[in-house]
Amino acid sequence: MRRIIVYILFITGFTHSSIATQKPIDSTRVISLSQFVDEMRNAERLYSLVNALVKFNPETDAEFEIAAEDNPKKIRITALVNLKNVTFEGGVNISFSNMVFEENFRMYDCHGVEPYYLYFDYNQFKNGIDMRRNYFNILGFTHNTIYNNVKFIEQRVGKFYIETTVFSPNVPKLEKQENKSIIPPYFFLANSAETNYFIEIRDCDFNYRLPKGFSGHVILRECYFSNFTLLNSNFTVPLDLTDATIINKFEVMNNTFGEGIFTGDLQTPEFNTRITWDQIANQKIKIAYDFIDDGTGNFLYEIYQPYSREGISNKDNYDRLIHTYAKLYGFYKEQGDVLSSRACLVEWKDLETYFFGHLYEEKKEMYDFFKWKMNDFLRIFCDYGTNPVKSMIWSFYVVFGFGLLYFLIPYDYAALMDKSRKLKNIKKQETEELPEMPVTINENTPKKSSLFKRIFGFIYKTLLRIFDSFILSLNLFTSLGFGSIEVRGLLLYIAVIEGFIGWFLLSIFSVSLISQVLQ
């Protein structure tokens, strides 16, 4: 992290020093807002304003205090804008709107005479923004399109919010850099512990992905906020909150994180944290533990990959990631969000199961093998105890499977053969004692039964046998032992196996059910 900050400050510092050597347009006059905008518009290559006062004039600047609306006829500013130690005075809600900045917009050590709310609305910044050490009660960006790098460093504002703004790369501008290599664009926000302010980002689109496959970043690591709110925004690049600290309120709701969110050592309030699980599910929680230079000036994240042989071997990063899951699980339980807490626990345990498998591959100990396979079984059977309904469904499959087995293999085969022998003996005895009995039986026996009776008899016997087989399987599975279970031979062993499986699965079901009831 230190390397990327040094690199950024070196690049921006070099450019700024080269600009400072040029003669500024005006550094002494007191000018109005309209004059300030006119001077920016009329400048050709550079507009530099240093140690100046921009004062609100009610006669000429009323348009800057009106709530901005989108205007297709925008003011085009072709010069690089460099503001340093500029004081804004007069007015309350000042909006610079409907402008197109072709080059970088820089604003250092500027402030507003309190109260001062400064807004940028419906603008296009085609080559980035660089703001440092500015002080305003409110600094807001709404309905803007900002290309390339965005830097907000050590801002001292009461509230900083960005709404309905698109962040994208401007490839032609990037390719004109001195080193002729594309540096991935980024949204970079850094501040010290003294800058304790509110930040709110909503309905924004951070699309810093480049055609050549490079990807930018949204970097808010090591920041210190009183309140942090992020709502309804889309990220096609990683969001880095590593080592950030939020004191009073942390709210992250209804966002899309295409490349995940880095949360290593993120500090959030214990009782005022809201982060919906569905936006970070499916392994979107990540640990970024270093920056690497690919040799062309491109700084890329080195991201911890837990589901790999090399990654799972890194116990320190594994513990950091598990700690993040544990914190999220605790948040959801405190808030009574049962569905999110269950889903979080399942993903947490999936990672733990993979880790146990890695331990067994390394040590080849039976204890690790059984831990691994037990976790694997619990995942399949009941989602690690979070889903008793799933365990009931699996239990039904087991009962049905054994019932089908009993249906196909007569479990009362011995009784059936004994009954057949008894009928033969009775017939033989009656025939010997009464010779005319066979004739009488043949005369009274119908020559041919109806098709309906035969079909009905077959269906009746089949349904009765299905019912008997299912009841037998259910009886054995639940180990209730009602009635006489006359199974012998191979089926006796099958029945014992089903009884053991039933006892084991029902025990897990009971624990899972009790756990959910207590929650």
Residue-wise pLDDT tens digits, 505-515: 888 888 777 77
The C-alpha atoms of residue 404 and residue 386 are separated, in whole angstroms, by 30
DSSP label at 209?
Answer: B
Confidence of residue 172 (pLDDT cuts 50, 70, 90): low
Residues whose CB is less than 8 angstroms from the CB of residue 173 and which lie 6 or more positions away in sequence, other chains included: 126, 127, 147, 148
Q: How far is CA 498 from the centre of its chain?
A: 41
Query: Would you say 258 and 237 are in contact if contact means Cβ atoms under 8 Å apart?
Result: yes
* Whether pLDDT at 415 is above 60: no
pLDDT for 411 equals 58
Query: Would you say 126 and 143 are in contact if contact means Cβ atoms under 8 Å apart?
Result: no
Residue among 184, 188, 235 at smallest CA distance from 214: 184
Confidence of residue 12 (pLDDT cuts 50, 70, 90): very low
Residue among 268, 343, 260 at smallest CA distance from 304: 260
Half-sphere exposure of 22 (CA within 13 A, CB side): 14
List residues bridging with 326 in a β-sheet. Answer: none
User: Token match 């005369």: residue?
Assistant: 443
The chain-wide mean pLDDT, for the chain, equals: 80
10 Å CB burial of residue 364 (0-12, 13-18, 19+) is exposed
* Whether pLDDT at 213 is above 90: no
Neighbours of 238 (CB within 10 A): 24
The structure tokens listed for 187 are 């949204």
248-252, 254-258, 427-431: segment of lowest average pLDDT: 427-431
Q: Are strands 245-253 and 75-77 parallel, antiparallel or unpaired?
A: unpaired
Burial profile 367-391: b = 16 or more Cβ within 10 angstroms, e = fewer: ebbebbeebeebeebbbbbbbbeeb
Longest Cα–Cα distance of the chain, Å, equals 139
List residues bridging with 420 in a β-sheet. Answer: none
* Whether pLDDT at 296 is above 50: no
Task: Tell me the whole-structure pTM to 2 decimals.
Answer: 0.75
Confidence of residue 308 (pLDDT cuts 50, 70, 90): confident
> What is the average pLDDT across 313-326?
88
User: Token match 């965005």: residue?
Assistant: 150
The C-alpha atoms of residue 141 and residue 418 are separated, in whole angstroms, by 91
User: Token match 């331990």: residue?
Assistant: 359
Per-residue CA distances from 497 to 382, 504, 505 (Å):
21, 11, 12
Query: Would you say 225 and 195 are in contact if contact means Cβ atoms under 8 Å apart?
Result: no
> What is the average pLDDT across 456-478?
81
Q: Is 302 helix (H, G, I), strand (E, B) or coil?
A: strand
> What is the average pLDDT across 110-132?
92
Q: What is the crossing angle of helices 388-408 and 490-518, to 10°?
A: 170
pLDDT for 461 equals 80
DSSP-assigned states of every residue in 219-240: E-TT-EEEEEEEES-EESS-EE
pLDDT for 448 equals 58
Neighbours of 64 (CB within 10 A): 21
Omega of the bond leading into 115 within 30 degrees of 0 (cis): yes
Q: Is 105 helix (H, G, I), strand (E, B) or coil?
A: strand
The structure tokens listed for 245 are 């600290």
Per-residue CA distances from 508 to 329, 377, 503, 505, 512 (Å):
22, 11, 9, 5, 6
The C-alpha atoms of residue 428 and residue 25 are separated, in whole angstroms, by 128
* Whether pLDDT at 111 is above 60: yes
DSSP-assigned states of every residue in 431-493: HHH-TTHHHHHHHHS-SS--HHHHHHHHHHHHHHHHHHHHHHHHHHHHT---S-----THHHH
10 Å CB burial of residue 322 (0-12, 13-18, 19+) is middle
Backbone angles phi, psi at 289, to 5 degrees: -110, 0
User: Token match 């297709």: residue?
Assistant: 72
